[in-house]
Amino acid sequence: MRRFEGYAAMVTGAGRGIGESVARRLAAEGARVLVTDVDAARAEEAAAGVCAAGGEALAHPADVTSRPSVEAAVRCAVDRFGRLDVLVNNAYATHEEAPRLEDEDDEGWQRDLDTTLTGAFRCCRAALPHLAAAGGRGSVVNIGSVNGIQDFGGHAYSAAKAGLASLTRTLAGQAAARGVRVNLVAPGTVATPAWEDRGTDLERAARAYPLGRVGRPEDVAAAVAYLASSDAAWVTGVTLPVDGGVLIANSELRRALAGQ
């Protein structure tokens, strides 16, 4: 199935993990993909991987905390592909917080929000005129998190992801008249390189998931491909959890009631 034949897409934070998997999935279905990342070497490597798998991709360094950098990336996509149909906002930042909120400084909080939330805003602002010119197939898919819906820890990260869900709804309402859909995927725990130095954390986390495992980047990429495609032509403004059922589970309470 090649739902994106003739489409052009831009994916932020696509040097590895979820973003790289999204780029691979869109390209496998026919899209020409601009692989962007603040780490230029990672972007090049990911784009090369897409091409090696038979897709079409181009790497471009992009720092979503910089308006000129974002606008240059969008121009690159339009100049090289002749159009822009899909924007996937995956870039994010998170920092190790102090144990108590009152001991937090402003820098980490600001960096997380500036990358995750304001960065997505910058990308949407730059891309919207081109998405609106895409003949009704323009689509934004934001990568949120279950942290933006429920308490899983992380004040700044969670606030940024919750803000991104709100931006999804408000922008969807405004952009619909221009033929652009805006949706959000909210993953649970996903086995990405960000977990490489976390020991057995993923194994322990898997026990909290009703489906018995943590997510894979491909799980999220499949949901992104659906929301970006014409299969979701009448879907906008939604938050789609891709979370192994964790949002409907309360494992700790179940264990407590069972006397475990």
The residues annotated with a catalytic role in the active site are: 157, 161
For residues 173 and 176, give the distance between their C-alpha atoms in angstroms, rounded to a whole number: 6
SS3 218: helix
Computed on alpha carbons and rounded to an integer, the radius of gyration of the chain in Å comes to: 18
For residues 218 and 2, give the distance between their C-alpha atoms in angstroms, rounded to a whole number: 17
Backbone dihedral angles phi then psi of residue 182, each to the nearest 5 degrees: -135, 120
**From residue 259, how far is each of 252, 254, 255 by CA, in Å?**
11, 9, 6
DSSP code for 226: H
SS3 243: coil
DSSP 36-50: EESSHHHHHHHHHHH
For residues 28 and 224, give the distance between their C-alpha atoms in angstroms, rounded to a whole number: 13
Beta-carbon contacts of residue 78 (< 8 Å; ≥ 6 apart): 8, 84, 130
For residues 5 and 123, give the distance between their C-alpha atoms in angstroms, rounded to a whole number: 23
